[in-house]
Structure 1
């Protein structure tokens, strides 16, 4: 197979977005190989330690030649692996691709790979996350078991010991019931042998997965083509849910058609994938937050910056001729504008700390009424519109235990929005009261909504 030529003038990978560190921390601590394909630049943009240990290379080493690692893939399977890498194969959740590898050391291995496409809100493909597991031992054991069971010559005793001790669940099912379950299968589904055989097996399957499992079972019994690997859940005990991967084949059991099912516990794998999906979603949210902040900050900073610039220009040009009172007035305008900008920056930093979970809650006894009045006074110094705020405090005479920074953040944010989205020269009503241990804050204005 010929590898595609690298694109000319390849754009370097972008600086990692907020949340990227969390994603990479998760990837660095899983046993599966993980790498990220960036379709915008036609390169592998990240490889985790498990990938680098197996393939003997990394994203930085591959650079503009992202296909060299495929030379270790079996020749007749490279095309499918390459298509999956580019997103050309069906990447529906649960679909997998198995292929063989001959490593540089001469050892052979069998991998199972799946691709997770990530899109932005408009549907544009941002990246493809690839996960691969080394299933060599499982593949070899399954191959030996299937060969042994298929041959079934004189009696079941020849393979009974293997089946009973293999680290893979084995079920034999027919007519909707479990006819045989090895000890590992009983452990995976959380049942004893008598209970497992006493009722239709569909009763042990998670409600949301029953239709899929039963449909696949019936279609396989009819000899139809069915997906070879898929995941489903079982209710393990009274509260726990366990994810299993199943692979099944038709065969004959005691002279009647049946299915031979191989079960593997993939609960931890599914959890790792879910953690990674959550990290990617979080990354997109933080990226959107950053974009919105840049847009808002560029607009909100314009007014105080203009006030600072005009005051400085007046002082620079006419300062020597101004009386002291006018110079002080201009300096006060500069201080007020700087204070307003500092307040906006502090609001953004506080929001960022809250979003990142890095905010430390520090309660202390406070005179709540005095604090609320002080916040409004400080707002008036930075914004003349804050004079529209009417404050009313009821039942706040006693000291209350609260976090001053958090109250400042909440009140400033609420009042700032009320001033921004209500008509000028209309009142903004701000009231606060205590109900038991709760502080109730109310802000009302004459704006829309």
Structure 2
């Protein structure tokens, strides 16, 4: 049996090369593993940085005071930031997947939906709209809405991105400015009417005063006493007319400045009304029949006699001026120490229905007033004086048949005052 042959040099070389290749392979595998490990670390860092960036962006978006929204291609809510909840009072989660336009008041919803449809259909590049939204608490807010289309990488539209700004304060300021402008125009109109009215209303009594005074200056010594007295009374009547006109203007001024405050004292209303009836019937040389009834349950009532003179005087004067001769004017008092009811009914020309709504506007006169003297201030003063007493006024009228004015005054507002001697 022969002995084993020792390994040849060739075998040893082959083994050495195999070991060398194996070592290189292990080194390469280790290097590749290190590369993979580094790549994984880099990717993790990138993902973490991306998540951090997204978190910061999300935080920033949520803290922006303006509404940011995303809609899908069907215009339903995909995303709303936190500003939506703050501004509208509705949680964003409650309206996800809801039609965005349908969240607004009907008129806004219709217009917004039309514009958004044009946007996703590619008919326009962007849309803007000032719209109204009704909060759960019933308050109405204004939002300025801007929106653009969102597109895929191939350019096709896949939704809508937009913002909405709360412009309620601005709209309220605009409304205030509009109201102020309207009020300024109204004041200018009233100022012009006032100048026109006063120039006319003052001219007549002043001319009468001037004429009578000049006549008295030249002829008083030659005229009989009766004729002198006639001109003196004419002067007195003209002065009283001017005083009443100035009183009217002063009451309107106080009312406009919120300074029309009654000064109530105990008043014998029956005596006051009776004296005012006599005063006005004589002043107007009235030929109507006056029927006065008093059903008051107490002798005196707490009210402002000056304002009550304005109330009754203007109403009763109108009844005299616009009623034909021999017609009947009915004046009735009723009530107790808490409420006073006053009614004046006439059989005059009445008030056209179209004029009733403007009856209390300063300087307004019904279209059928004709040439009957008047300033158009009377009923405005009556209403303001009645409301200053905490009362109400109601006027009903039929053109050509007559007018009824019914007033209720609240006498309890000043019962804390100690009754004094009744005024008449």
Q: TM-score range by the shorter chain?
A: 0.5 to 0.7
User: Which residue does the alignment assign to 2:12?
Assistant: none
Aligned to 2:333: 433
The equivalent residue for 1:81 is none
Which of 268, 272, 297 is the aligned partner of 1:367?
Answer: 268
Partner of 1:304: 205
Q: Name 1:319's counterpart in structure 2.
A: 220
Deviation by residue 1:361-380 (Cα, 9 ceiling, x = unmatched): 44443322222233334435
Q: Provide closer, same or farther for how the CA distance between residues 358 and 275 of structure 1 changes in structure 2, counting only shifts above 3 A.
A: farther
Distance 1:261 1:404 in 2: 66
The alpha carbon displacement at 1:284 in A equals 1.8
Q: What is the distance in 1 between the residues matched to 2:218 and 2:297?
A: 51
Equivalent of residue 393 in structure 1, options 279, 283, 293: 293
Q: CA RMSD in A?
A: 3.1
Change (3 A) 1:155 1:236: same
State the alpha-carbon separation in 1 of the partners of residues 152 and 277 from structure 2. 81
SS in 1 for 2:148: strand
* Offset of residue 208 of structure 1: 3.1
- How far does the alpha carbon of each residue in 1:316-336 deviate from its partner, in whole angstroms, 9 at most, with x for none? 111122344543342222111
Distance 1:190 1:348, change over 3 A: same
Counting matched residue pairs gives 296
CA deviations 1:387-413 (Å, max 9, x no partner) are 647251321352233333332222222
Matching of residue 354 in structure 1 with residue 255 in structure 2: yes
**Cα distance, 1:418–1:172 mapped onto 2, change above 3 Å:** same
1:239 is displaced (CA, Å) by 1.5
Query: Could you tell me the TM-score, scaled by structure 1's length?
Result: 0.58
Would you say 1:295 and 2:196 are equivalent positions? yes
Distance 1:364 1:229 in 2: 63
The CA deviation at 1:268 is: 1.4
Gaps of 5+ in 2: 1-49, 351-398, 400-424
Q: Distance in 2 between matches of 1:317 and 1:333?
A: 17
- 1:447 maps to 349
1:280 equivalent in structure 2: 181
Question: Residues 232-287 of structure 1, C-alpha deviation per residue, up to 9 Å, x if partnerless?
Answer: 11121232211111121112489962222211111111111111111111122222
**Cα 1:400/1:199, change in 2 over 3 Å:** farther
Please tell me whether the aligned partners of residues 350 and 409 of structure 1 are also in contact (alpha carbons under 8 angstroms): no
Report if aligned partners of 2:297, 2:334 keep a CA contact under 8 Å in 1: no
Measured in 2, the distance between the counterparts of 1:332 and 1:445 equals 31
SS in structure 2 of the partner of residue 289 of structure 1: helix
CA distance in structure 1 between the aligned counterparts of 2:107 and 2:147, rounded to whole angstroms? 20
CA contact (8 A) 1:375 1:412 kept: yes
Single out whichever of 291-300 and 279-288 deviates more from structure 2. Answer: 291-300
Q: Which residue of 2 aligns with 1:160?
A: 58
Q: Could you say if the C-alpha distance between residues 265 and 342 of structure 1 is closer, same or farther in structure 2, counting changes exceeding 3 Å?
A: same
**CA separation in 1, counterparts of 2:345 and 2:190?**
25
Aligned to 2:133, what secondary structure does the other structure show? strand
User: What are the equivalent positions in structure 2 for 1:160-309 lying under 5 Å apart?
Assistant: 160-174=58-72, 175-197=74-96, 199-225=98-124, 228-252=127-151, 257-309=158-210
Offset at residue 182 of structure 1 (A)? 0.8
The aligned residue for residue 340 of structure 1 is: 241
What is the alpha-carbon distance in structure 1 between the residues aligned to residue 125 and residue 190 of structure 2?
44
Q: Distance in 2 between matches of 1:307 and 1:336?
A: 9
Q: Provide the secondary structure at the position in 2 that maps to 1:395.
A: strand
1:427 Cα deviation after fit: 3.8
Q: Separation in 2 of the partners of 1:276 and 1:406?
A: 34
Instruction: Give CA deviations for 1:50-101 in whole Å, capped at 9, x if unaligned.
Output: xxxxxxxxxxxxxxxxxxxxxxxxxxxxxxxxxxxxxxxxxxxxxxxxxxxx
Residue 318 of structure 2 is matched in structure 1 by: 417
SS at match of 2:261: coil
Q: Shift of the alpha carbon at 1:307?
A: 2.5
CA distance in 2, matches of 1:284, 1:336: 36
